Structure 1
Amino acid sequence: MSYLEKIVNSAIAKLLDEDLWVNIGEIILKIIVVLVIASIVIKIGRAAIRNIFRVRSKSPLRISERRENTLQKLLENIITYVVYFVALITILSLLTIDVKGLLAGAGIVGLAVGFGAQSLVRDIISGFFIIFEDQFSVGDYVGIGKYVGTVEEIGLRTTKIKSWTGELHILPNGRITEVTNYSIHNSLAVVDINIPYDGNIEKAEKVIEELLPNMSNKYEEIVSLPELLGVQQLGTSDIMLRVVAETKPMYHWYIARMLRKEIKLALDANGIKAPFPKLVMYSRNEDADLYNHRVHRGE
């Protein structure tokens, strides 16, 4: 029997060994059990975190809602990472891989790779300071660079922003250098109303001033009494009046639309119409005929 035949026969004998397949089956079954347990632990952990924050929402010592949403998302992500890391180590141990030696080697390799992964380290450090300093939170409407939208998630490495048209922007935390947060302080709704020159400006101002006090009671998003500032601009065919109202954060667009509607209805009810462009027709042929007529008469 040749050497090659001995190797083939030995391999076939090992493959036909029942103990080998029993061991492989046991390992696969154990791996499945580990993954199932990891999935259950993650679900239980996330549910526990949600319940903890739900209880804190009824406590007088609670932090702001936006802050709680951010911390809840972050803790859920951390639990997921930790559980999957432990599951990975357990699976490697089941495959008879020396985990201790692997971790020791990974420490040395990680030190070398760390110099080339400075951006990753910068992202994590920046993410920590974003959360620690409460620069913005989940649910805030922010502007970061050229992206403007609602913060969907803040992680240790990336931040997810959803624009109002539905696009989801994923930004590395290390590249976030300037942030405009529109959700912290109250907003200001600015409404301009155009009145024609032949309209009664004093009457229009009186109608608007009588209407504005009712707006605070009608719309709870208005924080303070809306104010008529007066004449803002003298246009070519109309006069612009400006009304401002302080609103809750990010409600200025909604309140501005409602104010325009209410003011328009009030002005119409008092006979004050909106301005419209006036068109003046000028005919050069008529001027030429008039000139020829005068020349013919000797004028």
Structure 2
Amino acid sequence: MSNNLKHLADNYLRTPDGDMNFLGKTLKILIIIIIIKLIISLTNKLIDRTLKNKKGKNIFINNKRANTIGEVLKKIVKYILYFIGIMIVLDMFNVNTTSILATAGIGGLAIGFGAQSLVKDIITGFFILIEDQYAVGDYIKIESLEGVVEELGLRVTKLRDFSGDLHIIPNGTVQVVTNKSRGAMRALVKVFVAYEEDIERVSKILEVICEDIKSKNDSILDGPSILGITDLGESNISITIVAKTKPMEQWSVEREIRRMVKEAFRKENIKTPYPGRVIFGGKEE
């Protein structure tokens, strides 16, 4: 069997000089591609399994960070294997890969001076990942842009805002990050009532609302609490309600508090102020 395979290889895959012909080189390239794909697939599964076992331990703050690190590791492995595969293919066509690597080293030094921003992006991305400043799925604000982190790479961060726009931000430009997904978040609602209303009565109604929503909403960690009168406006009194919620749940809690306040004020006939205009003067006919 081995002799037959060797005979077929010599007849169809090699030239009379013993070198690989075009068909042989094409077959070898296909084998290299298949091997690289298999290694990438196995490596990805190994990374997923390793990170799955590590989730919940101190080295990983949360599952989001583990997922982000996994995606970056997969990309690094993929690029390294692709580079090795290209070097093997070039060597098949008698291209001096040693000189290419040497030239790449010298050229890389020269290009480095013109690619400082790229190097800065990669270094900053590395520290963002290691320091766990934010991870995929976090809601963050970078300068005037805010949204959910859709992808975190070593070079760029992709941020999806509520309007659906995707912002691609070079990591090197990230100076100050506000992460709104870490720890308890604050829900704040200001309730406006007219000066004519009995504040003690209004406060008791709001206390009932706070107790009711606290018992029904699992997203609330603390409160809601009534801070009391926080502002005396031209035509209204402002009463502030605050609560601590799970990350990303503060807006839904605020909406629910406003809905319940509106419904309670309607039932109890509590007047809320609105702009009005009184005109004096004129003649009666």
Normalised-by-shorter TM-score class: 0.7 to 0.9
Structure 1: gaps of 5 or more residues:
1-17, 290-299
Partner of 2:9: none
Partner of 1:81: 79
Q: Report the Cα distance in structure 1 between the residues aligned to 2:103 and 2:170, rounded to whole angstroms.
A: 28
Alignment of 1:9-28 (within 5 A): 19=15, 23-28=21-26
Task: Tell me whether 1:64 sits opposite 2:62 in the alignment.
Answer: yes
Cα deviations by residue, 1:238-294 (Å, 9 ceiling, x for unpaired): 3221111111223211110011112222233333243344443445243xx7xxxxx
2:205 corresponds to: 207
* Counterpart secondary structure, 2:221: coil
Aligned with 2:114: secondary structure?
coil
- Mapping of residues 56-135 of structure 1, within 5 Å: 56-57=54-55, 63-135=61-133
**Counterpart secondary structure, 2:159:** strand
TM-score normalised by structure 2 residue count: 0.84
1:114 Cα shift? 2.0
Partner-residue secondary structure (3-state), 1:102: helix
CA distance in 2, matches of 1:124, 1:58: 27
Q: Which residue, 138, 145, 148 being the options, matches 2:146?
A: 148
Offset of 1:235 from its aligned partner? 2.9
Against the structure 1 CA distance between its residues 107 and 276, is the aligned structure 2 distance closer, same or farther, given a 3 Å change threshold?
A: closer
Residue in 2 aligned with 1:6? none
Q: Which moved more, 1:175-184 or 1:33-42?
A: 33-42
Counterpart code for 2:80: V
Please tell me whether the aligned partners of residues 56 and 63 of structure 2 are also in contact (alpha carbons under 8 angstroms): no
Q: Provide the alpha-carbon RMSD of the alignment.
A: 2.5
**Greater mean alpha carbon deviation, residues 163-172 or residues 262-271:** 262-271
Rounded Cα–Cα distance in structure 2 between residues aligned with 1:24 and 1:120: 39
Which runs of 5 or more structure 2 residues have no equivalent in the other structure?
1-13
Give the equivalent residue in structure 1 for 2:6. none
1:210-289 equivalences under 5 Å are 210-282=208-280, 284-286=282-284
> Could you tell me how far 1:182 is from its partner in structure 2?
1.7
Deviation (angstroms), 1:59: 6.1
Q: Is the 8 A contact 1:231 1:241 kept in 2?
A: yes
Q: Is the 8 A contact 1:197 1:237 kept in 2?
A: yes
Q: Residue 220 of structure 2 aligns to a residue in which SS?
A: coil
Give 1:148 deviation, angstroms.
1.1
Shift of 1:158: 1.8
Q: 1:123·1:156 contact (CA, 8 Å) conserved in 2?
A: yes
Query: Structure 1 residue 71: deviation in Å?
Result: 1.1
Q: What is the number of equivalent residue pairs in this alignment?
A: 269
Where does residue 162 of structure 1 map in the other structure?
Answer: 160
Q: Answer yes or no: is the 8 Å Cα contact 1:137–1:151 preserved in 2.
A: yes
Per mean C-alpha deviation after superposition, the further-off stretch among 262-271 and 158-167 is: 262-271
Change (3 A) 1:206 1:35: same
| Cα separation, 1, equivalents of 2:127 and 2:179 | 16
**Corresponding residue of 1:138:** 136
